[in-house]
Amino acid sequence: MLAYVFVLLAIASRFLPHPEGWVQFTPLGAALLYFGARAPLKRMWIPLTALIAADVYLTKVTYAYPLKADHLVTWAWYAGVIVLGGVLLGRQVSPVRVAAGSLAASVAFFVVSNFAVWAVWHMYPKTPAGLLTAYIAAIPFFRNQVLADLLFAAVLFAIGALVERRESKAAPRIRAA
């Protein structure tokens, strides 16, 4: 249940105004990683559907941009981070694995999303120099995403561990009653 709550909070955070310089500082990557680690992968369609709906709304209504092929890359990344959480973490959660998963999610998004922007939009020349320019322009967003993914993953997995510990301590008392 907590995995679904974290995804909903991550989606809600995308609708909040972000202070100047804090774009891409959301718990989204961490929530997807947590979902993959704690929810059955056969239910990954639930957060994917909710995130795609939020993306379509934000893109079309809030930002008034057209939907383009780069959204497919983002949606594939959502699925990939959920699978990463299930494969890398599963029931073997440790601080090192959570940090590795967070960094892998951040780097993957940086690489694939900026390549997609370069390939789909007409912001950069379709040359190696144009691609490099796209990556350089995205570095401030990447910094925020890495920080957010690491921080929020630590917080979400810590909350999850505390809840699990509390539930495991409460279970024997319930059985004994």
- The CATH number covering residue 91 comes to 1.10.1760
pLDDT at 173: 58
pLDDT at 153: 97
DSSP for 111-138 reads HHHHHHHHHHSSSS-SSHHHHHHHHHHT
pLDDT tens-place values along the chain, 177 residues long: 899 999 999 999 999 887 777 777 889 999 999 999 999 999 999 999 999 999 999 999 988 898 998 999 999 999 999 999 999 988 789 999 999 999 999 999 999 999 999 999 999 999 999 999 999 999 989 999 999 999 999 999 999 999 988 888 876 655 555
* pTM attached to this predicted model: 0.90
Where in the sequence is the domain holding 92, given as residue range(s)?
Answer: 2-10+28-176
User: Among residues 59, 54, 71, 74, which one has the least CA distance to residue 14?
Assistant: 54
How far apart are alpha carbons 99 and 116 in whole angstroms? 26
pLDDT at 128: 97
Domain count, the chain: 1
How far apart are alpha carbons 14 and 29 in whole angstroms? 12
Q: Is residue 126 part of a domain?
A: yes
Task: Check: CB of residue 147 under 8 Å from CB of residue 123.
Answer: no
Q: Is residue 151 part of a domain?
A: yes
Give, for 46, the enclosing helix (H) or strand (E).
helix 45-57
pLDDT at 41: 92
Q: Is residue 154 part of a domain?
A: yes
Tokens 């950069």 belong to 124
